[in-house]
């Protein structure tokens, strides 16, 4: 088939192409609107954090109080907030510190065995037997995030030293407002 005959066989519905173009523009407009709204939410969350962790705790500290009831019956309380996350670049060092300081039981040690199909019987054998036979054995160690957070909080409240850089420790006062039901 020559080029002229081939182009004659292809018919383009210009009405549909206009619909496609219109829908694509609508999609781009929505995507831009979503980006704008996400940026607005990010800024609102930053403002919320500043009020909750800085402004209100500082004002209440200046007033010498840690809790107050408002006229509408709501109560406002400032409590310490703890967060921790081991930086991925320092996992080995953090685990060594935990083990060296008697907290190795916080580390979960998972061993994963990978088998092909129809190898159910092999899967029941011990890990060392599988290694001898050349099977792929994977080991992963981790500390659960909530366990790490609770550990850091407990140690700090007991006055013990925890390496902040190893455990990504973040401590702040946080405002909690309980509304009257």
Residues 6+ apart with CB under 8 A from 138: 111, 112, 113, 114
Cα 157 off chain centre by: 25
pTM above 0.75? no
Closest to 53 in 3D by CA, of 179, 161, 176, 163: 176
Residues 98-140 pLDDT 10s: 999 999 999 998 877 666 767 666 666 655 676 787 877 766 7
Residue 98 corresponds to which tokens in the numbers above? 């935990």
* CA 50, 75, 147, 152 torsion-angle sign: positive
Average pLDDT, the chain: 87
CA distance readout (Å), 143 to 87, 105, 120, 150: 12, 9, 30, 11
* CA 139, 143, 144, 145 torsion-angle sign: negative
**Bridging pattern class, strands 67-69 and 108-114:** unpaired
Residue 7 confidence (pLDDT): 56
């Amino acid at each position: 088939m020559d080029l002229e005959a081939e182009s004659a066989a292809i018919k383009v519905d210009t009405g549909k192409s206009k619909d496609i173009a219109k829908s694509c523009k609508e999609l781009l407009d929505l995507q831009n609107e979503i980006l704008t709204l996400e940026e607005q939410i990010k800024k609102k969350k930053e403002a919320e954090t500043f009020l909750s962790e800085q402004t209100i705790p500082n004002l209440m500290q200046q007033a010498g109080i840690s809790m107050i009831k408002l006229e509408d019956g709501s109560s406002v309380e400032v409590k310490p907030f703890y967060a921790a996350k081991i930086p991925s670049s320092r996992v080995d060092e953090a685990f060594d510190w935990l083990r060296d300081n008697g907290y190795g039981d916080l580390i979960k040690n998972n061993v994963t065995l990978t088998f092909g199909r129809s190898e159910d019987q092999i899967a029941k054998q011990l890990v060392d037997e599988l290694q001898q036979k050349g099977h792929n054995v994977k080991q992963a160690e981790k500390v659960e995030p909530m366990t790490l957070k609770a550990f850091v909080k407990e140690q700090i409240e007991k006055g013990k030293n925890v390496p902040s850089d190893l455990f990504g420790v973040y401590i702040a006062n946080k405002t909690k407002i309980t509304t009257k039901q």
